[in-house]
Amino acid sequence: MLTTADELKAVQGMAPTLDVARVRQDFPILQRTVNGHPLVYLDNAATTQKPVSVIEAERHYYAHYNANIHRGVHRLSQEATDAYEAARDKVRDIIHASRREEVVFTRSTTESINLVASSYGQGMRAGDEILVTEMEHHSNIVPWQLLCQRSGTVMRVAPIDDAGQLVMEQFAALLSPRTKLVALAHMSNALGSINPVKTLVELAHRAGAVVLIDGAQAVAHLPVNVTDIGCDFYAFSGHKLFGPTGTGVLYARTALLEAMPPYQGGGDMIRQVSFAGTTWNDLPYKFEAGTPNIAGGIGLGAAIDYVQGIGLAAIAAHEADLMNYASELARDFPGLTLVGTARDKGAILSFTLAGVHPHDVGTILDAQGVAVRTGHHCAMPVMERYGLPATVRASFALYNTRDEVDVLFRGLRKAQEMFA
């Protein structure tokens, strides 16, 4: 099992062993055409497609054992509870958390971060500081800004360099005894940069701060080990891990979850309710008010089975091969400027094309069946850093091929020809 960045690098350098043709058969959507062309889906950083096992897991739940969980004595409720809780164990396993109580189900990465800002944030005071980085997604900025407004806490921003890498000296210099929380991305959604999270956590802990890692872009592409990283919170979404939308995870250390007040009140999060006072349920249920996305959670479990069956090492190696190939073509492409050239980088190719606005590129690619993201990628501060209104972003996943990379670049040539 891979655990460290060095081991990951070794894997990324290995020849890919993934049987992509077989993998593609597992994703029904890849059979469809768009505007008369085979779909080339390169918007995986926005959301990933779903294997048939995930689609089937949701369908099977609704067709055979749809029931509410954690309450019925009847058979269906028991089956639904077992499947939902089995998914929690799968999440624990894929991120290497030490205990299942540390895995809180949410709706999304965004909700996971809001949970921490809202609940853990109640202990933050005027004069305390939160340190974020310049490469964060809006969902790892705005919840902290809201907390700052409520509490008088001050936000500091660690800058990135021209390549899109966190400037380590400045990050270290911004840490102080006032820093109570550090929030940073494992992998940048706009640039692909992978942060040296283990080192950053060590630095933050030395300053006495807790660390939240936004792992939305990481979990489907890198082996993640929260125990080895040593982070206090790790947030991610199921839908970027080939699972259903509306599923999210917050990993948090037990001691923190025990000390934190509930996030939302309602059913399932209580032990005993009376008008004189109410007591909270055990972990992680204290943070899971209301009927959750049961089908989604079960689907997420199936997605994790799928990913584990292929192996994150093989996935990382395949994506590294695609990225190397795409980066070479990009370097030789006249008028193309890569945005984000970090040494340690995931399978995200963000760029601009001279003479053609990103939105026009997006429309022209779509006419050829190629789906990319164009715009600010919910990371306006990153765009501001580079003085750009928008970029084109192609993001790869395990089912993409070198042929699809070729289709992308043929499309870019057509875009240039139209505006020549």
Partner 1 sequence: MMADLRDLYQEVIVDHGRRPRNFGLLPGANHRAEGFNPFCGDRLTLQLQVVDGMIRDARFEGTGCAISTASASLMTEAMKGRSTSDAEALFASFHAMLTGERQETDAALGKLEVLAGVREFPIRIKCATLAWHTLLAALHEEERPVTTE
Interface residues toward partner 1, by CB under 8 A: 35-37, 355-360, 363-364, 367-368, 374-376, 383, 389-390, 414, 418-419
Kindly state the smallest distance separating residue 69's Cβ from partner 1, in Å: 38
Kindly state the smallest distance separating residue 395's Cβ from partner 1, in Å: 18
What DSSP state is assigned to residue 68? Answer: -
Residue 8 host element (H or E)? helix 5-12
- Contacts of 279-284 with C-beta under 8 Å, sequence gap 24+, read 282/101, 283/101, 283/102, 283/254, 283/257, 283/258, 284/88, 284/100, 284/101, 284/102, 284/103, 284/104, 284/105, 284/257
- Beta bridge mates, 370: 40
Residue 200 CA to residue 210 CA, distance in Å, equals: 11
Answer whether 386's CB lies under 8 Å from 190's CB: no
CA 102 to chain centroid, in Å, comes to: 18
Nearer to partner 1, 283 or 412 (CB): 412
Kindly state the smallest distance separating residue 361's Cβ from partner 1, in Å: 9
- Minimal CA–CA distance to 408: which of 375, 364, 376? 364
Kindly state the smallest distance separating residue 366's Cβ from partner 1, in Å: 9
b (16+ CB within 10 A) / e for 345-369: bbbbbbbbbeebbbebbbebbbebb
Nearer to partner 1, 100 or 414 (CB): 414
What DSSP state is assigned to residue 191? Answer: T
Residue that the structure tokens 């701060």 belong to: 209
Residue 67 CA to residue 295 CA, distance in Å, equals: 10
Catalytic residue among 378, 392, 397, 408: 378
**CA 268 vs CA 166, 264, 291, 296: distances in Å:** 41, 11, 8, 18
Nearer to partner 1, 106 or 374 (CB): 374
Residue 267 CA to residue 273 CA, distance in Å, equals: 10
Note if the bond before 284 is cis, omega within 30 degrees: yes
**CA 276 vs CA 267, 273, 287: distances in Å:** 17, 8, 21
Nearer to partner 1, 285 or 419 (CB): 419
Residue 11 CA to residue 316 CA, distance in Å, equals: 7
Nearer to partner 1, 14 or 418 (CB): 418
- Beta bridge mates, 375: 391
Q: For the beta carbon of residue 372, count every other beta carbon within 10 angstroms.
A: 26
Kindly state the smallest distance separating residue 301's Cβ from partner 1, in Å: 34
Active site residue 378: yes
Nearer to partner 1, 76 or 388 (CB): 388
Residue 96 CA to residue 103 CA, distance in Å, equals: 11
Nearer to partner 1, 33 or 272 (CB): 33
Answer whether 5's CB lies under 8 Å from 200's CB: no
Nearer to partner 1, 40 or 241 (CB): 40
Residues annotated catalytic, as ranges: 378
